[in-house]
C-alpha cells in the first residue's frame, strides 16, 4: 500500500480507498469479509455514500474494533429512510440520517463530513437555505465532524463552493473519459477540469476519486466511449497522476475484487501505463503533457512527468511546487536534448522544447 498526506489535515491516506457503490451486491458475510480484507491490505479510507442503507452495519461489523485506524467520509445529504439512497438538503432529515448511520457504524465521530453531491449552484444555495450546511458546521464545531469535504461532478460549482466553504477533501469524478469529455459525468472542459486539479494541489485540498472506471464503462470495449477497454490498474494510475489526488475509491463487492485491486501495488510499470489514451485525445489535449511517463527512460534520469507537473503547478501559483522542483535530484537543466522523450511521447508533446522552457522558468 502507498499513502499520501492531506496537507490540510495531516491525515495519511491510502492511495487505494474503498468505494461503496457495489457492496450491496454481496451478501452480508461476504461484504464484511471484503471490507476487512481491504483493511488488512492497508486501505484506511472508506467512502460511505452507499446505495443501500442496510450496508452501514457491514462497516460497523468489519471495522468497529479498528475504528481509530480508519477514516470515514460520511455524506450530509445522503438519506436512507426508504432503505435505498436518496438525496436531501433538509436539515432535519440529514440529522436523522447521520444519527442513524453513526449508530450502525459503531462510532461517534466522522473523519470527513461531506457537503453532499452539489452539482449545480442552485444545489449549493438550497443546501445553505435549508440549514444542511449550518448543521454540518455545527457538528464540526462540536468535534463530531473533524474535517469538511465536498462531493461534486461539476468544476464550476466546485470552484464556487471552495471559495465559500473550508473544504479539506474533494470527492470528484476522475477518469480519462471524463477528462476528455466522454461519459455521463464528463462535466467541464479540459481546462476547467485541469484547473480543479491544480487548485486542489496548490491549496492542499485532497481529492478522493469517485467513478475511476466511469461506472465500469472504460473496462469494457463494447461500452467504452473510445471503443477500447482500459484496465483497472491503468485507470487507477491515471487518476493518481492528476495533481491533488490522494486516493482512488473503486467499488468492491468480493474478497477477490479487493485482492485484485490491492495487486495494483505489485503491478509493473507496463501494466499501469495508460498512454494508450493518447489515441483518443481531443484536439485541445494534443501536445499537453499528462505526466504518464510513457517516455521513460530518460538517459539523464529526469522524471519527465514529475518535472512537467511541478512546472504546470508552479505557473499556476503553487509555491510549494517550485520548492518540490528545486528538491529534485535531476531537473530540466540536466536535459541534453537527446530526443528520446519526443520520439516516445504518444501525446505529441515537444518535450525537448519544454525542458528548455522549464529550465529557463526555474532558473
- CA nearest 113: which of 129, 130, 134, 85? 134
Q: Judged by CB under 6 A, does residue 337 bind ligand SF4?
A: yes
CB of 341 to ligand SF4, least distance (A): 3
Query: Does residue 294 touch ligand SF4 according to CB under 6 A?
Result: yes
Task: Please identify, among the stretches 150-158, 255-263, 320-328, 351-359, the one whose residues bind ligand SF4 according to the rule CB under 6 A.
Answer: 351-359
Taking CB under 6 A as the criterion, the residue among 66, 223, 338, 360 binding ligand SF4 is: 338
Fill in the DSSP letter of residue 19.
B
> Contacts with ligand SF4: how many residues (CB under 6 A)?
28
In the structure, how many helices (H) and strands (E) does the chain have?
A: 15, 11
Do residues 240 and 4 touch, judged by C-beta distance below 8 A? no
Q: Which part of the chain contacts ligand SF4 (CB under 6 A), choosing from 23-31, 44-52, 258-266, 303-311?
A: 303-311
145-152 and 110-115 strand pairing: parallel
- Binding test (CB under 6 A) with ligand SF4, winner from 239, 298, 321, 358: 298
Residue 221 contacts ligand SF4 per CB under 6 A: no
Strands (DSSP E) contained in 193-268 are: 206-210, 245-248
Is residue 341 part of the contact set for ligand SF4 (CB under 6 A)?
Answer: yes
351 interacts with ligand SF4 by CB under 6 A: yes
Contact 351, 306 (CB under 8 A): no
Please list the alpha-helical segments (H only) found in 106-231: 121-129, 132-142, 155-164, 176-179, 190-203
State the Cα–Cα distance between residues 341 and 35, nearest whole angstrom: 42
Give the x-and-dash track for 247-286 against ligand SF4 (CB under 6 A): ----------------------------------------
Site string for ligand SF4, 77-96 (x = CB under 6 A): --------------------
Question: Which helix (H) or strand (E) covers residue 3, if one does?
Answer: strand 3-5
User: Considering the rule CB under 6 A, would residue 295 count as an interface residue with ligand SF4?
Assistant: yes
- Nearest approach in angstroms of CB 276 to ligand SF4 is 12
Q: Are strands 12-14 and 3-5 parallel, antiparallel or unpaired?
A: antiparallel
Residues 6+ away with beta carbon under 8 Å from 256: none
Residues near ligand SF4, by CB under 6 A: 289-295, 298-300, 302, 304-305, 308, 335-341, 344-345, 347, 349, 351-352, 355
Amino acid at each position: 500500500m502507498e499513502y499520501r498526506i492531506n496537507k490540510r489535515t495531516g491525515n495519511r491516506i491510502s492511495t487505494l480507498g474503498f468505494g461503496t457503490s457495489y457492496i450491496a451486491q454481496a451478501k452480508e458475510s461476504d461484504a464484511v469479509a471484503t471490507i476487512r480484507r481491504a483493511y488488512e491490505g492497508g486501505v484506511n479510507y472508506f467512502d460511505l455514500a452507499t446505495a443501500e442503507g442496510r450496508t452501514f452495519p457491514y462497516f460497523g461489523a468489519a471495522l468497529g474494533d479498528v475504528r481509530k485506524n480508519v477514516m470515514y467520509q460520511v455524506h450530509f445529504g445522503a438519506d436512507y429512510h426508504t432503505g435505498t439512497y436518496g438525496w436531501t438538503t433538509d436539515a432535519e432529515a440529514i440529522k436523522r440520517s447521520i444519527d442513524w448511520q453513526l449508530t450502525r457504524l459503531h462510532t461517534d465521530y466522522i473523519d470527513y463530513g461531506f457537503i453532499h453531491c452539489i452539482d449545480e449552484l442552485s444545489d449549493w444555495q438550497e443546501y445553505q437555505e435549508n440549514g444542511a450546511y449550518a448543521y454540518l458546521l455545527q457538528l464540526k464545531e462540536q468535534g463530531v465532524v473533524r474535517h469538511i469535504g465536498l462531493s461534486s461532478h461539476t468544476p464550476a460549482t466546485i470552484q464556487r463552493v471552495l471559495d465559500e466553504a473550508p473544504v479539506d477533501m474533494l470527492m470528484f469524478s476522475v477518469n480519462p473519459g471524463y477528462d476528455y469529455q466522454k461519459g455521463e459525468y464528463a462535466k467541464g472542459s479540459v481546462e476547467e477540469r485541469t484547473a480543479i486539479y491544480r487548485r486542489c494541489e496548490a491549496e492542499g485540498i485532497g481529492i478522493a476519486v469517485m467513478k475511476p472506471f466511469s461506472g465500469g464503462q472504460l473496462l469494457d470495449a463494447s461500452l467504452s466511449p473510445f471503443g477500447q477497454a482500459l484496465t483497472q490498474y491503468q485507470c487507477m494510475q491515471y487518476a493518481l497522476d492528476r495533481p491533488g489526488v490522494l486516493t482512488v475509491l473503486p467499488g468492491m463487492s468480493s474478497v477477490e475484487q479487493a485482492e485484485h485491486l490491492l495487486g495494483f501495488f505489485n503491478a509493473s510499470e507496463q501494466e499501469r501505463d495508460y498512454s494508450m489514451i493518447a489515441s483518443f485525445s481531443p484536439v485541445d489535449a494534443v501536445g499537453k503533457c499528462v505526466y504518464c511517463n510513457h517516455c521513460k527512460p530518460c538517459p539523464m534520469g529526469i522524471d519527465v512527468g514529475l518535472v512537467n507537473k511541478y512546472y504546470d503547478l508552479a505557473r499556476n501559483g503553487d509555491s510549494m511546487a517550485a520548492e518540490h522542483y528545486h528538491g529534485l535530484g535531476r531537473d530540466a537543466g540536466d536535459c541534453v536534448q537527446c530526443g528520446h522523450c519526443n520520439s516516445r511521447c504518444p501525446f505529441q508533446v515537444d518535450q525537448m522544447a519544454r525542458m528548455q522552457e522549464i529550465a529557463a522558468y526555474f532558473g
